[in-house]
Amino acid sequence: MNHTKGGLVIFTANSHPTSRELSKRIAERLGVELGKVQVYQEANRETRVQIQESVRGKDVFVIQTVSKDVNTTIMEMLIMVYACKTSCARSITGVLPYFPYSKQCKMRKRGSIVSKLMASMMCKAGLTHLITMDLHQKEIQGFFNIPVDNLRASPFLLQYIQEEIPDYRNAVIVAKSPASAKRAQSFAERLRLGIAVIHGEAQDAESDQVDGRHSPPTAKTTGAIHPSMEIPLLIPKEKPPITVVGDVGGRIAIIVDDIIDDVDSFVAAAETLKERGAYKIYVMATHGILSSDAPRLIEESAIDEVVVTNTIPHELQKLQCPKIKTVDISMILSEAIRRIHNGESMSYLFRNIGVDD
């Protein structure tokens, strides 16, 4: 079958073989073949992209899944998008199921908002549309000056719970921190289940003490500010001992989040839930980064199963830990591509999705 279909061309910008699996699934669902392109690294580690077919006047979709080498992944996509732009493609849509650097979307200390930089680079390279899934913060969409479709994986995860977890009616949806309570509430309301929130986890936030902001001035200055005027100090946060708000005794605990990378917090949450009487523990997340020795820690933990989607390739981690299960989301990505190419409404893909979802 021809790789073009009515002016539609799909490229995968990833040079790593294991990262091309999702692109192949999407192309199969659309009934097309992946476009011909060569992506490789020079001897000096420079990325080179060579498009081997005409894209003039066509709708190009560049699918990029994030591999272990995140920075190389980004450069591959930027170079490919720019190559399509200079080859006179009619439109260039980026398909990034997981948006890299999405955790760096807020100003902290003397850092920077890297997500904004990522958005600026993609727009400058030539993207005219972006399809992504479960952004770490929905406000990231505002960093772009092009349309952004932030799809949701929750329908697939909810379906997995209903079909693959026996006696899920005896489950409780758990937020491992107050920050993820809204996501847990969304799952609980759709499944008609109760909710529990773990509060007072071990402090892992960055401390402002180390960056010099609390350093006292070398000498008191009494010129600009009146001596009697003192700015009140903000009382420092102090987390209480770990508590579970909600009943998990004799229940199945399902911890939900958007990203599972460093699993220490999930392992600690699982131990806390076991102590409170939960007899089975699942972890559900959209993006399974599973860095470092995450598979080993999961295998040795009280967690019974970790369910993630295939937005990020993790076949190696599954071989190391049989507790990791995968939910395929290529269906919704292929439908989004089809609708954008045909000029159809995207609202069908956002049915029953509220502001807090």
Query: What does the chain come to in residues?
Result: 357
Q: Write the pLDDT tens digit of every residue in 279-329.
A: 999 999 999 999 889 999 999 999 999 999 999 999 889 999 999 999 999
Structure tokens at 181: 């309570």
Choices 3.40.50.2020, 3.40.50.1820, 3.40.50.10140, 3.40.50.720: CATH for 8-151: 3.40.50.2020
Q: Say if residues 21 and 310 touch (Cβ distance below 8 Å).
A: yes
d(CA 95, CA 65): 8
Distance CA 27, CA 23 (A): 6
Q: How confident is the model at residue 209 (pLDDT cuts 50, 70, 90)?
A: very low
Mean pLDDT (whole number) for 258-283: 94
Supply the pTM of this predicted model: 0.87
pLDDT band at 220 (very low <50, low <70, confident <90, very high): low
Domain spanning 154-200+241-327, CATH class: alpha beta
Instruction: Answer yes or no: is pLDDT of 188 > 80.
Output: yes
Task: Quote the pLDDT of residue 278.
Answer: 95
Closest to 127 in 3D by CA, of 102, 100, 139, 145: 145
pLDDT at 207 over 60: no
**Average pLDDT value for residue range 47-63:** 95
Q: What is the pLDDT of residue 237?
A: 76
Tokens 């199969």, located at residue = 28
How high is the pLDDT of residue 68? 82
Q: What is the mean pLDDT of the chain?
A: 88
Could you give the percent of the chain with pLDDT greater than 70? 89
pLDDT in tens, 63-94: 999 888 899 999 999 999 999 999 999 999 99
Residue entry with tokens 């539609």: 8
Mean pLDDT of 96-113: 91
**pLDDT value for 205:** 45
Task: With a cut of 70, say whether residue 202 has pLDDT above it.
Answer: no
Residue that has been written with the tokens 């979307």 in this structure: 105
- Sequence-separated (6 or more) residues with CB below 8 Å from residue 67: 14, 16, 18, 19, 73, 313
Cβ atoms of residues 199 and 177 within 8 Å:
yes
Q: If pLDDT is split at 50, 70 and 90, which confidence band does 341 have?
A: very high
Count the Cβ atoms, other than its own, within 10 Å of residue 121: 15
Query: 114-125 and 70-86 are packed helices; what angle lies between their axes, rounded to 10 degrees?
Result: 30
3-state secondary structure the chain: CCCCCCCEEEEECCCCHHHHHHHHHHHHHHCCCCCCEEEEECCCCCEEEEECCCCCCCEEEEECCCCCCHHHHHHHHHHHHHHHHHCCCCEEEEEECCCCCCCCCCCCCCCCCHHHHHHHHHHHHCCCEEEEECCCCHHHHHHCCCCEEEECCHHHHHHHHHHHCCCHHHEEEEECCHHHHHHHHHHHHHHCCEEEEEECCCCCCCCHHHHCCCCCCCCCCCCCCCCCCCCCCCCCCCCCCCEEECCCCCCEEEEEEEEECCCHHHHHHHHHHHHCCCCEEEEEEEEECCCCCHHHHHHCCCCCEEEEECCCCCHHHHHHCCCEEEECCHHHHHHHHHHHHHCCCCHHHHCCCCCCC
Q: Would you state the pLDDT for residue 1?
A: 34
C-alpha to C-alpha distance for 357 and 355, rounded to whole angstroms: 6
Listed by start position, the domains of the chain span 8-151, 154-200+241-327
Identical fold, 8-151 and 154-200+241-327: yes
